[in-house]
Structures are given as C-alpha cells and as structure tokens.
A and B are shown apart, each in its own frame.
Chain A
Amino acid sequence: MRDFDLLEPKTIPEACGMLAAGEDVRPVSGGTALLILVKQGLLRPRSLVNLKKLEGANAIRRDAGGAVRIEAMATIHEVETSQVVREHLPVLAEACHQVANIRIRHLATIGGNLAHGDHQSDPPGVLVALGAEVELSGAGGTRALKLADFLLGTYETALEPGEMVTAVTVPPVEGRLVGGYLKFTTGSSEERPCAGITALVRLDGDRPVEARLAVGAVASRPLLLCEADPAEAALEAMADRAAEEIDPIPDLRGSAEYKRHLVRVLGRRAMAAAWAEAGS
C-alpha cells in the first residue's frame, strides 16, 4: 500500500485540528472502505487521521426522551448486536446485520459508513427512513444535520474541511414503528445491495398514522417517501411513485430500467409486509 503518515489523536478536538490541515489529510476509522481506495491508488493521502483510538467513541445509548444516540466509532456489529438498537430500532439491527460479512462488520464503523457517502450500502437508507440526524464536530464546535441533508451524492457529503461525524441520533418515535428492511443483491448474499428497501408503518395504538418507504443503494442518495394516514390501497401507489421518482445509477448490478422495476416490485412487497405486521 502507498505510504502515508498515520496520525493518532486521543480526543475529538485534536482530531479536528489535524483534519483541518488540508485536503490530503483524511480521517480513517475501520478502514474497510478507505484503505481499498488507497490500495487501488484512487486516493493518495499524505496523512490519515486514525479515529479508532478515540476514547469512548463507540457508545450506544437511549436518553430519557427516547432518542437513540450512536457514537460514530461504534462498529456495524456493535450496532447490530446492541440491546438498545434491537429493542427500539429493530429495523436498523436487521439492516446492519446484512452489511458485507462478519469480518467487515467487526471493523467498519457507522460514522465511517455515513461519512464515506457510498450510496451502495445498507445503513444510510434505513437511517434516513428513521429520520436520523448526524452530529458533526469541527474547530467551530458541533452542529446537527438531518442525515437526508448530509448525504449529497456518491462520495459527497455536507462535511466541511476539518469536520468529522461524531454521532448519529435517531429521534424518539411517536407511537410505534413496525416494518423491515428488504435487501436485494444480484450477486452473492454478502454483496453490496443492488437495492435496499425500508418500509415502515407508524402506529398510534392500533391505528396506522404514517407509512414510510425509503429506497437506498439505487440512486446517488436515498429516496424517502412518507404518507400520512395511509390506507392499504395507497401502499402500492407509494412503491409506484418511488419507482417513478428514483434516478437509478446503472452499473454491474443492473441497468437503470432493471433497478426501476426492482424498486416497484420490492417496494410493493416490503410495504405489504409492513402493513401485514401493522395489522397483526
């Protein structure tokens, strides 16, 4: 692998100071995405800032108000197996379990996953469906941004120079969310998603008050559709609308036409499953 200097800050302010030094200083956490880019010569950093040794940067907690806060250096496996996540955000645990393979899930971090901005990934779409926010820290302090506004496109995020993702927070749910994540790969099971569909129904008691459909991995950023007071008849229309609105990126996993069709079929399937769960 091409040479670089690995800088090892102990605190977040120290890390942000290092990151502010310039474009050729990049942060690295699990390394599962970034080191591949360095190995392939697509990225030629002078220095990498190692965020893996920051103290206490992997905690997962639910506060008194019901918001779940995941510190950025939590590994995908830690998110997937967290009792808090399994109990309160089971769809996130389900999606994280389907990321790559077990070895990658033990290395890769949730913050790295989001900051990398790769659209072909499972967690971003689910987190957008959950209305997640990211916390960004830099020399000027911290700010919070809706994940949907943070993800600008493939490998593009709203991170400013010298900033890093320090946490992802899922706001409390009014009522109860049911539904799940449907991953489709055109290769082997542990491959990157060709499409990742999140279908959720929010219940107030037994009454469905909102339906959410998020499409990840198809376009350069996740697409989210929400419908208030949904009726069963509206669910198929939601999937159809997603298929019309999405701007698929054609690649080895499928043509744009194929992916658009996939969004319609999987969207209907996932919404139907969520609706059935809501009624049971």
Chain B
Amino acid sequence: MRHLINANVNGRERELSVKSNQTLLEVLRDDLRLKGTREGCSVGVCGSCTVLVDGKPVSSCLMLASNAEGKEVLTIEGLGQAGNLDPVQQAFLDHQAFQCGFCTPGMIMAVKGLLNENAKPDEAEVRDYLSGNICRCGTYVEVMAAIEDLTAKP
C-alpha cells in the first residue's frame, strides 16, 4: 500500500509516494538519496539516524514515513554544505569531534535539536540530552568541547 504525502525536506517542498512499511530513514536514504543519515542499531538506541522533524530530534529508523505528512524534515545535508557550514558543523570540525564519522550526522542533528530547545544548556543538560547518541570511537570529550565552544559565544 502506498501513501501520497507532502513534506518539506531540507527546505524543499516534496510530494512523496511512500510505502506503508517504509520508515522516514528509508525514504531519506533510498528514495531521496540523502545518505548522510545513517542506520546504526535500527531500534532507536544509537542515535545515528537522528534527524529533526519540526525542529525536534527523532529516530528516523522508528518513524513511519507517512507520519512526515505536513512536517519539516531537516537532515545533515540541509544543515550546511562545504563552504557554508552551520556553526555546529564548524565547531565539530574545529574540535575534531569525530573519528570515523559514522555517528557524526546524528550527533550534530541532536546538538542542533538541543540548541533549538535551549540556547544556553549547562554541562549537565548537554550530557543528559545527548546520552542517547553513541560514538563507538569515544569522541565524547571533543564533542563536549565543541558544544562548550558553541554555547560560550555571546
């Protein structure tokens, strides 16, 4: 069964034909070829598939694509591109807050979601918010430094 939905993906209005059993992650990666969003655990634990839906972080591996109807979806590709990076992307670069990079798009989108909700989070709030984004390389110290840099700016 297919569903015709309208959604704004990375600033562009799209009419999408999605299957009943398709997740938002599958539509982004397989249909729209937006490969920045990664599939890690596929059960909502690791955070690799984090995207923003109406500004809020969700696990796109557990969201039915049909529920993106009328929503604004933002992926890492829509955040910024080379030469025009979002401040969060730039801070991750400046602090080398990644190693292999697999978790990085999800990590950056989660930070974006955090800053949407709370522009000046303290360290405990950052740790609490990001506790569900896992980095197997263990770059947490650099991630925290990048965020500290972002939130210290006036």
CB within 8 Å of B: which residues of A? 1-6, 8, 28, 30-32, 35-36, 38-39, 48, 50, 52-53, 77, 100-104, 106-107, 188-190
- For residue B46, give the distance in angstroms from its CB to the closest CB of chain A: 10
Q: Which of A6, A52, A53, A107 contacts B59 (CB 8 A)?
A: A107
Chain B residues in contact with chain A, CB under 8 A? 1, 3, 19-23, 42-45, 47, 50, 53, 56-59, 62-64, 66-67, 69, 110, 113-114, 128-129, 131-133
Complex Cα gap A39–B62 (Å): 10
- The answer to whether residues A36 and B44 also contact, given A6-B66, A31-B63, A188-B131 and a CB cut-off of 8 A, is yes
State the CA gap A28–B21 with chains docked (Å): 12
15 more A-B residue pairs beyond the given contacts A1-B21, A101-B132, A104-B62, with a C-beta to C-beta distance below 8 A: A1-B23, A3-B19, A3-B21, A5-B1, A6-B21, A31-B62, A35-B64, A52-B67, A100-B132, A101-B45, A101-B131, A102-B110, A102-B113, A103-B44, A107-B63
Main secondary structure of the interface of B (DSSP, over half): mixed
How many Å lie between the Cα of A3 and that of B22 in the bound state? 9
- A32, closest chain B residue (CB): B62
Residues of chain A contacted by B43 (CB below 8 angstroms):
36, 39
Taking a contact as CB atoms under 8 Å apart, the answer to whether A4 and B131 are in contact is no
Nearest residue (CB) in B for A39 is: B42
A3 / chain B contacts, CB cutoff of 8 Å = 19-21
19 A/B residue pairs, CB under 8 Å, sorted by A: A3-B19, A4-B20, A5-B1, A6-B1, A6-B3, A35-B23, A35-B62, A35-B64, A36-B44, A36-B62, A38-B21, A50-B64, A50-B66, A77-B56, A101-B131, A102-B110, A103-B132, A188-B131, A190-B132
